């Protein structure tokens, strides 16, 4: 299981808004290819590991506004659980985010590629949270890119 924390220089309500929609996870979770909303509580994830595509469906199990957001896998080829906790800092001007993410197989031992993916989860989560921080604090999260926007001149 990967468990990391990071402090974001934005108010808690803004950070919660940015992190409480799994469809946006691929913007900063580098190893997630896509997340599609099935309904308000259910999401379909997809990733490719060593050429093998994995799909899994999650359900939200906890969505306590500005406090905690959590999900579990209910179906698929990869088992993922996650929890995000939010703590206000500096009178609400900054936010501590604690992000826990766990991957497992449903049956048997993982393939070599999947085992490596799982083993590297903690190090990857550090990088992913840094990416989130940069996107969120630079106000480019909605675009999902840290690249400067091209200016159009007439």
Q: Which two tokens mark 82?
A: 């996650």
| DSSP code for 68 | E
Q: CA 134, CA 59: separation in Å to the nearest integer? A: 28
pLDDT (average), residues 137-146 = 72
Residue 88 pLDDT more than 50? yes
Convert the pLDDT of each residue in 1-15 to its tens digit: 899 999 999 999 999
pLDDT (average), residues 60-78 = 95
Residue 17 pLDDT more than 50? yes
Q: Containing H/E element for 135?
A: helix 121-137
Residue 106: band (very low, low, confident or very high) from pLDDT cuts 50, 70, 90: confident
- CA torsion 60-86-22-100 (nearest 10°) is -80
Tell me what pLDDT residue 108 has. 83
Residue 95 pLDDT more than 80? yes
Domain ranges in the chain are 2-137
Q: Which two tokens mark 24?
A: 């946006």
Tell me what pLDDT residue 144 has. 58
Domain spanning 2-137, CATH class: alpha beta
């Amino acid at each position: 299981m990967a468990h990391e924390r990071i402090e974001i220089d934005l108010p808690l309500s803004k950070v919660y808004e940015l992190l409480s929609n799994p469809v946006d996870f691929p913007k900063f979770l580098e190893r997630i290819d896509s997340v599609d909303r099935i309904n308000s509580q259910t999401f379909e994830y997809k990733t490719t590991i060593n050429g093998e595509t994995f799909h899994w469906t999650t359900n939200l199990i906890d969505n306590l506004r500005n406090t905690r957001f959590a999900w579990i896998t209910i179906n698929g080829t990869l088992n993922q659980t996650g929890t995000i906790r939010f703590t206000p800092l500096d009178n609400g001007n900054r936010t501590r985010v604690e992000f826990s993410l766990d991957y497992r197989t449903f049956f048997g031992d993982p393939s070599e590629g999947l085992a490596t993916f799982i083993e590297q989860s903690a190090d990857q989560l550090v990088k992913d949270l840094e990416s989130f921080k940069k996107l969120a604090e630079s106000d480019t999260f909605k675009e999902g890119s840290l690249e400067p926007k091209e200016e159009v001149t007439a």
